[in-house]
Amino acid sequence: MGYKVFVDGQEGTTGLKIFDYISKIPELDILTIESDKRKEPAARSRLLNEADIVFLCLPDAAAKESVELVTNTKTKIINTSSVFRTDPSWVFGLPELKNQRDAIRTATRLSVPGCHATGFILSVRPLVDAGVLPSDYPVSCYSVTGYSGGGRSKIRVYEDAEAVAAGKLDVPRHYALQQNHKHLPEMKMYAGLAYEPIFTPIIANYAQGQAMSIPLTSRYLHKNVTAQHVHELLSAYYDSEPFVRVMPYNSEVFLDDGYFPITACNNTNKLEIFVFGREDRFQIVSRYDNLGKGASGAAIQNLNLMLGFDERNCLE
């Protein structure tokens, strides 16, 4: 008899992708709910408490409600919303952080990182840990992402025939300009920073794929490091990781006629880190699928660890 798994919010973008993944894992028995009952607390409560593992693919308020509906001590929860990510009683599901896998393996309450936060933390935390990037460095960053990261509502907007015909969505659009993006608290906490970064997210008219860029100036870093030193440090930190790869230093080979191909990691759980620029002024760029390592793929990676499977199971 396999592990019973329930996806609460299985009809959303992240939920559908998770459902597709778990359908390919023979050790799992998938519990489902009828569409007309998915908002009924009693029906959801029965499945939430019957399951060994629950994925919450819901808005923040609904995710809180689902957690309250779990009344037993056996059900493990993997939450994909932002609501519990900085809660100390929940494990942050980013296995590539040092010593985090042990916490994930024994977790009963786990939060999957936000898509923007994933690339940011994986780029910054090793530098803070090494004493290269001061924790009070005034970090700024920007992230370009496909519209699927906004869920079904954004997908409807960007795939609406009238909006497309009007040309309103042809250009990239900056948002959260008041520095109120919901990923900022986890970006600060798990990158080891004293202050939240200045963050500019940008949504563009393509479905999926993401690039997080972080510019740095070497004269404000500790230990007199150069861009190449930073590259070597990141390479050593992720040397044995199955999904995170630091690409060769400052290489034009990975550009397309000088342009950065954002979508090269689509439909995978890979995250690739690049260091581009001059010795004194450079930027770290991470590339990944906002629906893969930025959401559903990361959720499955954590599931594998929590159930004692190979963490690459179903992801390669």
Per-residue pLDDT reduced to its tens digit, 38-47 = 888 899 999 9
Residue 147 has a pLDDT of 95
| pLDDT above 90 for 252 | no
| pLDDT above 90 for 251 | no
* Residue 57 is a catalytic residue: no
Residue type, 306: M
pTM here is 0.96
Q: What is the mean pLDDT of residues 262-278?
A: 97
**Residues 159-172: pLDDT tens digits?**
887 877 788 898 99
Residue 299 has a pLDDT of 98
Sign of CA dihedral 174, 177, 180, 186: positive
**Residues 61-100: pLDDT tens digits?**
999 999 999 999 999 999 999 999 999 999 999 999 999 9
**What's domain 115-290's architecture?**
2-Layer Sandwich (3.30)
- Eight-class DSSP state of 243: S
Q: What is the mean pLDDT of residues 233-247?
A: 97
Arithmetic mean of pLDDT over the chain: 95
Task: Give SS3 for 10.
Answer: coil
| pLDDT above 70 for 141 | yes
Spans of all domains in the chain: 3-113+295-306, 115-290
Same fold, 3-113+295-306 and 115-290: no
| pLDDT above 70 for 102 | yes
Q: Which parts of 112-248 are beta strand (E)?
A: 140-146, 173-174, 198-204, 210-217, 244-246
* Closest listed residue to residue 273, CA positions, set 98, 119, 118: 119
Helices (H), the chain: 13-22, 41-50, 60-69, 100-105, 115-129, 151-158, 161-166, 184-191, 227-237, 297-306
Residue 96 has a pLDDT of 98
**Residues 109-133: pLDDT tens digits?**
999 999 999 999 999 999 999 999 9
Does 3.40.50.720 match the CATH number of domain 3-113+295-306?
yes
- In the set 115, 141, 265, 314, the catalytic residue is 115
